[in-house]
Homo-oligomer: A and B are copies of this chain.
Amino acid sequence: MQNRETAAVGSAQDAAPLSGDALEAVLVAELGDALVTRSADIDPRYFTAYNEPAGVRPRALVRPRGVDDVSRTLALCARLGQPVVPQGGLTGLARGAVALGGEIVLSMERFAGIDTLDAAAGTMTVRAGTPLQTVQEAAEAAGFTFGVDLGARGSCQIGGMLATNAGGTRAIRYGMMREQVLGLEAVLADGTVVSSMNRMLKNNAGYDLKQLFIGSEGTLGVVTRAVLRLHPLLAAPATALCRVRDYDAVAGLWNRMRTLPEVVSFEAMWPSFYDYVAHHTPGVAAPFAGDGGFAVLIECATSAPGGDAHHALETGLAAGIDAGLVEDAVLATSERQARDLWTLREGLAIDALPHLVNFDVSLPTGELGAFAERCEAALRARWPDVTCLFFGHVGDGNVHIGVSLAGMTDADVDALDHCVYAVVRDMGGSVSAEHGIGALKRPYLAHTRSDAEIGLMRRLKTALDPHDILNPGKVL
């Protein structure tokens, strides 16, 4: 046994895969007992995607404590030809961070924490396993705001957010994760550590390598550390909910509101979505419930000393009312009320719908209304009793769809995917706005990207990970 292991460690990637026992023994021997969990001992949370039943048990779990551990693990796996799934907080929605069969899982949860915060430069250096909320709180304590916020803030990790280029509710103000990163450190499939920890807003010295690892979902390298940029601290926000007649008025209101530098979020709820959450969110009194209009949540905030986000929002809404775009509006008068409005928008209530399937797509903002109509018509033509709930960030072209159908079968799920993504393709949109491709949307990548684009992606994958060790079966 010992001989066989040693031989395997020294051999090329083409060697026959090790048995489970042999693999565990090699991992323990080379990486140490403290880093490795044997397959049988892995807690199901390491192989359970968000809101899904437990999936495939990985062959082993490795939890590195530092960059060197990541490098040694990947170098070993490259020698063994052993596929690896990099894993963050497992809050992704595209099944991108779980094993599909035959992989080990590399969880970054132990490599967490903030290395430094440079207040003069407005930057923070963090480790991949750090939860978003930790970053947000540290930024605020130092007088800064971090640019990305999303519901999973307590569990999602910076490394995973970078690997998936996470978006959220503030992208119209600050951009997605890609725009928050000045420098990045990543480990390649062969164990090479590429440290590109730039701290400047402007740096044009050679290729911007960090871009390779942002949004490529762990298929080109494992993100280990990042230099994040921080923004001036926002004072308490002003939040309002507006009633808007139709989607054209929503788009018109957005084009008006986006001129205000204080706007942080602009979130729209289609009538059917709003009607549902208004009636099924316990403890929240929903304004305009049952009116049958669109509801738009707008949040304004400013970092300017003496700035008045409430005044800006009120002025903007008054202009919207004068222009006939807004029919009615409610301004939150307390933090509690603002939270209630966000609770409606987050729409966790719809999770109770039977057999819910979620979509995350994007189109230019002005085309989202027509998209929703075409999409619902296509679904209803095949499933007359389908429930389609549209809601989303809208200001950045991103809409989510909750589709529910009593007695939905697996074949129905596939047919639903086909139906929705065909409309996205025909209108020139994206099958993934912010959730990534993972394993879930892989069959639909070609709906959004051309053969030439996918060919170039493969060329990059081959150049960086020739033996397909990193997150195989994801994205491509």
The interface of chain A, by Cβ under 8 A from chain B, is 118, 120-123, 164-165, 167, 171-172, 175-176, 178-179, 188, 192-196, 198-209, 211-212, 214-216, 220, 232-233, 251, 255, 258-262, 302-307, 312, 315, 319, 362-367, 393, 396-398, 428-437, 441, 445, 448-450, 452-457, 459-460, 462-464, 475-476
Contacts and interface: CB of A to CB of B under 8 A. Distances in A.
A364 B120 contact: yes
B460 A462 contact: no
Given A200-B362, A204-B434, 19 more contacts: A121-B367, A123-B364, A167-B202, A171-B201, A176-B202, A192-B455, A194-B452, A199-B428, A200-B398, A202-B430, A203-B448, A204-B433, A205-B432, A207-B216, A209-B456, A232-B258, A233-B259, A259-B305, A261-B302
A305 B434 CA distance: 31
Contact of A206 (B205, B305, B454): B454
Contacts of A428: 199
Shortest 5 CB-CB distances between A and B: which pairs? A120-B366, A211-B211, A463-B463, A261-B261, A121-B364
B433 A475 contact: no
A113 to B, nearest CB: 21
24 contacts: A120-B365, A122-B255, A122-B258, A123-B364, A164-B204, A196-B449, A196-B450, A199-B397, A200-B396, A201-B397, A202-B393, A202-B434, A203-B362, A203-B432, A204-B430, A204-B436, A205-B441, A205-B445, A205-B449, A209-B457, A211-B212, A259-B303, A261-B307, A462-B463
Nearest to A462: B463
